[in-house]
Amino acid sequence: MFKRYELPPLPYAYNALEPYIIEEIMKLHHTKHHNSYVVGANAALEKIEKHLKGEAQVDVRAVMRDFSFNYGGHIMHTIFWPNMAPHGKGGGRPGGRLEDLIAKNFGSFEAFKSLFSQAAKTVEGVGWAVLGYDPLTEELRILQVEKHNLLMTAGMVPLLVIDVWEHAYYLQYKNDRGSYVDNWWNVVNWGDVEARLEKALNASRSLIIL
């Protein structure tokens, strides 16, 4: 009844983000961790289908939680990969409309970067920092998401995300999440973030507000 989710290919080679994120991390992160969320989301869908057909009784609360976690993981990673660009092609400043909006909402690019970094470094346990577009106010927001889905806000359109689960950095940075976050700015693909903003500006308001 439902389509199944699929693991998207990385838009660059596994070693493309070196020296900031090493090949071993990228390979495991994509083929094992991200893939496990795809498999988990599909398994939850299958349970829901069996329940709908009367073939199996499921614990609806548990399967909904399972779906939220795994689908959240799939979506966040699907945005995370193209949010980064190979070494030499990423980093710097966004420029254009995105930087204008960042400056308008956060005061300056530097102030935004500082708050986003703090959000990423202080996630309790595992999670993400997110730059999102709020279609209600047509402004940008910074969110701190726990796991892949907790504290995520309905309607907020994710534009830029950073994974701060230990699997995203531990093999290279050990427990030094701060250095990982600071280095990650060198591979941010601002062109991708800008493209997401443009789509959000054009479409998202009509999705939520009549």
Q: Verify binding: residue 165, Fe ion, rule CB under 5 A.
A: yes
- Residue pair 84/187 in contact (Cβ under 8 Å)? The answer is yes
Q: Verify binding: residue 163, Fe ion, rule CB under 5 A.
A: yes
- Residue whose token pair is 């726990």: 146
Q: Which stretch binds Fe ion (CB under 5 A): 8-16, 84-92, 159-167, 175-183?
A: 159-167
Nearer to Fe ion, 80 or 190 (CB): 80
Nearest approach in angstroms of CB 24 to Fe ion is 14
Q: Which stretch binds Fe ion (CB under 5 A): 36-44, 90-98, 157-165, 178-186?
A: 157-165
How far CA 91 is from CA of 20, 58, 76, 199, in Å, comes to: 11, 46, 20, 22
Cα–Cα distance for residue pair 126/73, rounded to 1 Å: 12
Residues 27-66: x where in contact with Fe ion by CB under 5 A, - otherwise, as a string:
------x---------------------------------
Angle, helices 109-121/177-184, rounded to nearest 10 degrees: 150
Alpha helices, H only, 30-173: 35-53, 60-80, 96-106, 109-121, 170-173
Nearer to Fe ion, 175 or 206 (CB): 175
Q: Verify binding: residue 180, Fe ion, rule CB under 5 A.
A: no
Q: What residues line the site for Fe ion (CB under 5 A)?
A: 33, 163, 165
